[in-house]
Amino acid sequence: MSLMARIGFAPRARTTPARYVQTRAVGRPAPRNSPLDRLWRWIVRAVYQRPAMSAFAHDIISAPLPVAVGTEIINICNADCSFCGYGKGEDGKGGDPRVKQKLNPEVFTHALKLFDAAGGGVFTLSPILGEVSVHPRWLDMVREARSFPNIKGVSCFTNGILLDRFGSDNILKSGLTNISFSTSLTGREAYNRLYGVDKYDTVVNNLFDLLETNKRLGRPVHITVLLRIDKPFAKFFASDIYERLCSLMNTRDIEILDDAWDGYKGLIKQEALPIGHKFKDNYPDKSVPCYAMFRKLEIMLDGTIQACACRIEPELWGGNILDHKTLHEAWRDPGLERLRNDWFEGKLQDCCKTCEHYIPYTNLLRPTEPKRVARHALGRVKRAVLGSTRQPIQF
Ligand SMILES: C[S@@+](CC[C@H](N)C(=O)[O-])C[C@H]1O[C@@H](n2cnc3c(N)ncnc32)[C@H](O)[C@@H]1O
Ligand code: SF4
Ligand code: SF4
């Protein structure tokens, strides 16, 4: 352990506690188009280099395209996390009532075509409940996505257990641009208790092999490590494994989920959480529609479009991507529009009433707060001067 760590000055990873902000708009917002509004919208878009970025609440609800697009890949997992909705409830189907299956390849190709034709960006290839690396064709699918000229990246979450089956070089050269590696790094006992499988050594080896290979290759992939660990965190910050992690990555890319746990409709019990953690509270006032309905086009294994990427909720199912000819048409799918409009009229689905993931959609405007716009502009200037090639985080 380094001297700095011994005396309590080790750099700190970020923790992600539940954060709420006041809702800013109740009811359907009016369009904003005064000359000043148009100027502000132009500034925001120029600073973030996102030509369709929303600057006002009405921009969000009338956006022609989603902020993010992705498909599930598989609904099978090789772990059995105590804190996750996977495999819980009656017959193990409380969190996902569907049969176990892989993504329909026709759905995948069609989704990629629509995304590419609409301008593309970073495509998310991740399960809602499942593990990406359980799909034997995972990297072939990444390569297929990257064969489209406008698809500039692919992101995914992984528990890392099976990465040695693919090999770090192959993973990092596949065309993936963002990997969120969720795991627990405080020893075998805690890992087995939380992840439900005896794979601690494998995961630690896979993680460090991935990070070292990424460093050797010049960091083609932005890797974030998402930690699910017991409290107090000080023990982890003082550990050799944390020091080793910090030697290979920026501490800003290490995040610890802190008291922001989803209870998955009561499927998860308090004792299943890492020691010392709490569930996220159910938001007290849900009069404003949820952000999830306005952010990402979530395409499920059979092509069903779901109005939310957080859970598997049949109440939130709309039409099928295969029935749409453009991304815009899919984003404005009548089933999704009905769910959004119902919420504006005060009729939210039962699954949303109890969901701890809820955040008012107006929170999507947080990056447009003047201080954040200024900070982002400054960051861009700094990167231009220092010549940083760091990949943006996109999920
Ligand atoms: C459901 S997993 C699917 C992808 C992959 N199997 C993994 O674990 O990264 C997506 C993310 O949700 C996190 N997660 C699981 N259960 C959670 C819960 N009850 N509350 C908050 N996050 C949770 C996981 O740790 C993971 O980072
Ligand atoms: S958190 Fe991920 S790895 Fe753990 S059971 Fe859920 S889907 Fe599987
Ligand atoms: S309240 Fe929960 S289930 Fe409903 S849209 Fe928001 S995140 Fe999804």
Cα angle 66, 86, 301; round to 5: 45
**Tokens at 164, concatenated:** 């040695």
Polymer length of the chain: 395
Q: Is the CB of 304 under 6 A from ligand 2?
A: no
Tell me, in angstroms, the distance from the centre of ligand 2 to residue 207's CA: 16
Instruction: Give this prediction's pTM.
Output: 0.92
CA neighbours within 13 Å on the CB side: how many for 275?
9
Query: To which H or E segment does residue 151 belong?
Result: strand 151-158
Q: Does ligand 2 lie within 6 Å of residue 313's CB atom? A: no
The pLDDT value given to residue 386: 78
Query: In sequence order, what DSSP letters do the residues of 320-385 get, joined into one string?
Result: EGGG-SSHHHHHT-HHHHHHHHHHHTT---HHHHT-TT--BGGGGGGGGSHHHHHHHHHHHHHHHH
The whole-number average pLDDT for the span 80-102 is 97
Ligand 1 atom with the smallest distance to the CA of 130 is: 6
Instruction: Report the nearest-CA residue for atom 26 of ligand 1.
Output: 182
Residue 195 alpha carbon, nearest atom of ligand 2? 4
Question: Does the Cβ of 351 fall within 6 Å of ligand 3?
Answer: yes
Residue 358 Cα to ligand 3 midpoint, Å, equals 5
| pLDDT in the model for residue 383 | 84
pLDDT tens string 106-157 = 999 999 999 999 999 999 999 999 999 999 999 999 999 999 999 999 999 9
Q: How far is the CA of 265 from the centre of ligand 3 (A)?
A: 12
CA of 386 to the centre of ligand 1 (A): 35
In order of 125, 149, 172, 338, the CA distances from 179 in angstroms are 10, 21, 9, 34
Decide: 361 and 288 in contact? Cβ < 8 Å: yes
Read off the pLDDT of residues 202-250 as tens digits, 9 standing for 90 and up: 999 999 999 999 999 999 999 999 999 999 999 999 999 999 999 999 9
Mean pLDDT value across the chain: 92
Strands 296-299, 254-258: parallel, antiparallel or unpaired by DSSP? unpaired
Inform me whether the pLDDT recorded for 384 exceeds 90: no
Ligand 2 mean position, distance from CA 225 (Å): 15
Task: Calculate how far, in angstroms, residue 183's C-alpha sits from the geometric centre of ligand 1.
Answer: 9
Residues touching ligand 1 (Cβ under 6 Å) are: 77, 83-84, 127, 129, 131, 157-159, 182, 226, 228, 261-262, 264, 268
Residue 85 CA: which ligand 2 atom is closest? 6
Q: What is the four-CA torsion angle of 282, 284, 287, 293, rounded to 10 degrees?
A: -20
